[in-house]
């Protein structure tokens, strides 16, 4: 009898049988392929309303902070509040948003590295009377785009509804992902 026999994949679970593993290897391990990864991303549902609310709170706080002078006594308190909101946002939504950003990068700008989601938030947002948020074309994280050579391209996360916008140059914006 050979020392090793081929591992048989349990198709339903995506795992290999524990009795097939020899020589102190872990009892179970998961083999990911793109089908499994897509399934995991789909399975990891985010609370879209909570995500949008958190983004709006950060956006509004950033706008308020930008309006007041550094010497204002409220500045430090508001800055601390902003850091708390950003930390909470990263803990609650960081991993799923990184996966989404990776998909966006793979599709539109594969030569650019994915950063933490907080980096993709604009420094300030424009908010109209209908509470619709938008970001200026100069906001976001620089990305390399083969489809738009010579144009400055940036990705930015915008709330209400939560979406990822690709800013191309100074006058074109394209929504590349929307939370559902």
Q: What is the pLDDT of residues 98-156, one digit of tens each?
A: 999 999 999 999 999 999 999 999 999 999 999 999 999 999 999 998 888 888 999 99
Q: Return the pLDDT at 46.
A: 82
From residue 122, alpha-carbon distances to 29, 57, 100, 138 in Å are 40, 13, 18, 9
- At residue 18, does pLDDT exceed 90? no
Give the closest residue to 180 by CA, choosing from 85, 121, 96: 96
The residue among 149, 128, 148, 152 whose CA lies nearest residue 140 is: 152
Kindly state whether residue 117 falls inside one of the protein's structural domains: yes
Work out the pLDDT band at 7, boundaries 50, 70, 90: very low
In a domain? residue 136: yes
Helix (H, G, I), strand (E, B) or coil at 42: helix
1 within domain boundaries: no
Tell me whether residue 67 is in a domain: yes
Residues spanned by the domain of 144: 46-178
Question: Is 115 within the bounds of a domain?
Answer: yes
Count structural domains, the chain: 1
CA–CA separation, 121 vs 114, rounded Å? 13
Q: Binning pLDDT at 50, 70 and 90, where does residue 95 land? A: very high
Contacts of residue 164, defined as CB under 8 A and 6 or more positions apart, other chains included, come to 100, 101, 104, 120, 155, 156, 157, 158, 175, 176, 177, 178
Helices (H), the chain: 34-43, 48-67, 74-108
Q: Answer whether residue 21 is part of any domain.
A: no
Q: Is residue 38 part of a domain?
A: no
Could you tell me if residue 121 is inside a domain?
A: yes
pLDDT in tens, 38-60: 434 443 578 999 999 999 999 99
């Amino acid at each position: 009898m050979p020392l090793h026999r081929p591992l048989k994949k349990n198709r339903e679970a995506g795992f290999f049988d524990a009795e097939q593993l020899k020589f102190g290897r872990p009892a179970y391990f998961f083999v990911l392929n793109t089908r499994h990864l897509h399934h995991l991303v789909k399975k990891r549902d985010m609370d879209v309303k909570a995500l949008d609310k958190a983004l709006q709170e950060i956006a509004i706080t950033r706008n308020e902070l930008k309006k007041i002078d550094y010497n204002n006594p409220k500045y430090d308190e508001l800055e601390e509040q902003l850091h708390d909101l950003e930390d909470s946002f990263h803990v609650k939504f960081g991993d799923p948003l990184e996966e989404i950003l990776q998909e966006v990068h793979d599709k539109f700008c594969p030569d650019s590295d994915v950063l933490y989601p907080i980096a993709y938030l604009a420094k300030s947002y424009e908010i109209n009377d209908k509470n619709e948020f938008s970001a200026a074309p100069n906001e976001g994280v620089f990305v390399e785009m083969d489809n738009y050579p010579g144009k400055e391209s940036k990705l930015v996360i915008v709330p209400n509804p939560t979406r990822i916008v690709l800013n191309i140059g100074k006058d074109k914006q394209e929504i590349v992902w929307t939370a559902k």
